[in-house]
Structure 1
Amino acid sequence: MDTWSERMMKPATHRLVMRLHVLLVLVTVCSEVEISAGQEALRFLTVAPGISHATFDVRPPDGEPFSGHAFRVDLGEAELRLVPAGGPSPRQPVAQIASPFPAVVAVNASFFDNDGRAMGLAVSEGRLLATGKRASWGALAVSGTDARIVLGSGISDPLAHGLVVQGLPRLVIGGKVPGLKPQLAERTAVCAAGSRVVVVVASKAESTAFARFLAEPPEKTGLGCSDALNLDGGPSTQLVVRLPALTLSLPGGWGVPNALVATPGKR
């Protein structure tokens, strides 16, 4: 039988349990709000004619967080070209390669060999910059205002395209992420579909987590890329933005053989 003291303690214990329950609910709700706020859909803002920009901060549930920049290029309103390093050296920093352009978004592009020469096909404005086609690699191929990512083996006439650059692996194929080798590295990538190209630069990211972010639809906080190609990364990853509405500089660890350069407006 309960004593008087035990009967008096029961309401107090009940109130304590209720307070703890309310506190737990509040903490849970606040945590959910914080997580949701960190996973909002990307907002692209126009920074120049034909070029829009978004930042991202991705926290995969099973991997390292990563962040970076995405630039959406409308080929009907902006130019996209592959610009080689000039001068006596086969490699230069992207900032130096992009220096002739007053308004520009530029990233590194081709992988390179021990001699600093671009690997895979490289075509710019109808000029063949590198001839060593890699049949199994992916390729960004641009003809006029139509951009596609295809296998190197599918390019029978490189000069039929205004721009070609090869890379690997293909991160997204037909909206699906293929099996990828686990690797943590800085990332430079490109997505392409018709008249729209998206150029992406990210901090150290695991390959599959990065590819999933590229493939996820915007309503799930991704970029919605149907096809995406990995360009050279690691110390090669670098970004230069020089626009009236935005200036950015992310230097890499060394020079590169060429740069993917977007300039606002059409010639």
Structure 2
Amino acid sequence: MKCSLTNISLPEYNNCEYFNRLNEIGIKGIEVATSRAWPDSLHGVSQENIKHYRQLADHAGLSIVGLHSLLYGLEDLALFGDETQFYKTLEYFKLLSNVCSELGGKSLVFGSGRNKGDISYSNALDRTYKFLEFLIPSLEKDGVYICFEPLSSNDSDFINTVSESLEIVKYCSSPHVQVQLDVKAIIENNKLSEDLITESETYLKHVHVNTPGLGIVGRKYTNEHNTISSFLNGIGYDGFLTIEQIMINQNDIMTPITESFSFVNNVYK
């Protein structure tokens, strides 16, 4: 398994300054929240900015894994809003697919920002299937896949379990709709079992290694991390593991990252 880091751990709009230092400690990839990389991702990121970001990652020996935090800070976009919001969100996801591809990434992790509110679960599924029907051609063109990240009920009221994510994947029957696991959500849902991992084996493309509160990984829940690592090894998972934690200390960026990486590198082998 290869270890990557989300750029929400790095200073806003100044991610690239730390790329070489990340490689030096052993991190092999970056997962990008566009809102953390550039001031205005909603109205399109210039080709020049994309090229520059990718070149600096390449020169540091880092792969761009993909994008996440897709709707962070974008209050006007919503999967379950009105018709105008729905189509604006669809066009934005098409843009993200292209940005991801141009960066060299493969995955769009769709986590928070998808609350259904008063919409029934059945209607929310129908809306999701319609959204994906329109989005999949862009994903195919760009060579990108989208993962509906199961989250705890603290973070979302739609897609809280791996089984619910798999329901979407199997309905779409497209290699561009896959599954992502989030360790924090597994812990918060108290759903840790080998079946949870094995049922997602065929479709599992990415894993977020994190902890409730998105703090330093490994200070708590060490037993859970060891168990999940064992289960992932049991299915032969060899993709990226992204350490997902917030920027802990603006005056000391690398120490918290190094602590989390050391734990993940020792446990997830």
Place the TM-score, normalised by the shorter chain, in its bin. under 0.3
- Structure with the larger helix share: 2
TM-score in terms of structure 2 length: 0.26
- Structure with the larger strand share: 1
Larger radius of gyration: 1
